[in-house]
Amino acid sequence: MNKKISPKVHVAIIASRFNDFITKALLNVCVIELKHQGLTDAQMTIVWVPGSFEIPLMALKLAKKKNIDAVICLGAVIRGDTYHFEVVANEVARGMMDVSLLSQKPIVMGVLTVDTIDQAQKRAQDKGGHNKGRDCAMTAMDMVRLLNIL
Q: Is the dihedral of CA 111, 55, 109, 2 positive or negative?
A: negative
- Reduced to 3 states (helix: H, G, I; strand: E, B; else coil), residue 16 is strand
- Reduced to 3 states (helix: H, G, I; strand: E, B; else coil), residue 4 is coil
Among 10, 36, 84, 130, the active-site one is 84
- Please, what is the Cα angle at 110 between 4 and 116, to 5 degrees? 145
Pick from 59, 60, 61: nearest CA to 111? 59
84 is catalytic: yes
Instruction: Identify the H or E element spanning 109.
Output: strand 107-114
Distances (CA, A) of 98 to 28, 66, 103: 27, 18, 8
- Distance from C-alpha of 142 to C-alpha of 104, rounded to nearest angstrom: 15
Active-site residue numbers? 84
